[in-house]
Amino acid sequence: MFVTALLALFACSEYDLGTDPDSPELVVEPPESNAGGHATRDTDGDGVVDSEDEDADGDGVINTLDPDPDGDGIPGWTLDSDPSDDPVVDITTNLPSLEVGSVRGRVCAPNETTWVAGANVQIVTSQGIYLTTTNGDGWWQLDGLPPGDYTVLIWKGHFSTTLEVTVENGSITEEVYEQCVEQGLVRVAVVTGEYDSIGSVLSHLGIQFDVVNGLNDAVATGFLTDYSQLDQYDMIFFNCGMSFAWLENDEATVAANLRQFVDAGGSIYASDWAYLMVEEPFPTALTFMGDDSEPGTAFVGAAGFTEAVVVDPAMANLLGGNLAELNYDLDIWAAMQAVNEGEVLLQGDFEYYVDPSSSLETMPANAPLAARFSHGGGKVTYTSFHNEVQTTFDMARLLEDIVLSL
């Protein structure tokens, strides 16, 4: 009678009692072995995995009394994990697992030809924020995304862009997108100098800028002492060899204006002799050679090639290694001793003049050659090398990264 009653209950099951057509090879167990439902299979689709569900097939008969607990018409637990027709359940949450996808892309500079290393890539989903950075060739990939339509935010320094992507439901998707960061409303000024041409790096990257004649004493001083002129810009580049006429009567004003500019979110880049554009407003951030209170005493670096160690990870990825060849083709470049705030970007040994008598000594291998720090809402970057005819391939790539990172 008991068996007859059980067979009557089978007629009420919502499942076909035949063999599941897409299941693995069946393993027949005797009817009395009713424990051991699969830990990821959810036969009746109720959100509870079989190993936790007392009525795995939903036929009204608990597993311990059911000769066919998985409801496939064969006695015993004979269905293995079968995600092709049953929801896969997360064994941690006991909820159906989310289907996931991967999206990848590549980021270029505004010139649409230079790939950008170290750019930030972010997607916000209902499951959280997914964040990564581009590699040395500009590639990025985000995995584990739930299905849906998303806006990808990409940025490096002041430059950014967005991208619309779709992760399809029911499959793992991988799409390739190429997207260039844009200058947008970012305003840039270049103060010219006699021994540098950072403007050519910006032009190569497709970045538009205004030129301030840094070789004209009146123009340079007027620009630096009038905060309303500085405030027109988001980024200001100071070339090596610019005028220092402002040191005579306007040193305090220039220092205060530059400090206010950076605090308000502006970015400054200075190279070599233009180190005073960093030292004056931020006297404790970097320690230069010589007496920091006496302008020009840092001009002690000796000409020559240096194999620098690339400390910054994004720069190392860009170059494909942690070594860079730098060429200091002129004597008495402005040298640093230490970085007190922020981070060292490159370091290495170099020769320097002890005094005007021309005796040379060598700084140790960990001496900073380029550095970056934040102050208030903005950034400041200084490099002891600059862009001119002596520029090596490594120097050109590093300067491009520095420009995009401001």
User: Is pLDDT of 59 > 60?
Assistant: yes
Average pLDDT over residues 148-158: 92
User: Is pLDDT of 112 > 60?
Assistant: yes
Buried b (16+ CB within 10 A) or exposed e, 215-252: eeeebbbebbbeeeebeebbbbbbbbbbbbebeeebee
Which domains are delineated in the chain?
1-97 (no CATH), 101-180 (2.60.40.1120), 188-405 (3.40.50.880)
Give me 4's structure tokens.
């007859």
Contact status, residue 117 vs residue 102, Cβ threshold 8 Å: no
pLDDT band at 226 (very low <50, low <70, confident <90, very high): very high
Instruction: Give the C-alpha separation, 217 to 393, whole Å.
Output: 33
User: Is pLDDT of 243 > 50?
Assistant: yes
pLDDT of residue 27: 40
Per-residue pLDDT tens digits for 121-152:
999 988 889 999 998 888 888 888 888 889 99
CA atoms within 13 A on the CB side of 128: 6
Average pLDDT over residues 337-366: 81
Best CA proximity match to 335, nearest among 285, 396, 390, 382: 382
Q: CA angle 283-193-237, nearest 5°? A: 55
Instruction: Give the C-alpha separation, 177 to 378, whole Å.
Output: 31
Instruction: Give the C-alpha separation, 194 to 214, whole Å.
Output: 9
pLDDT of residue 36: 62
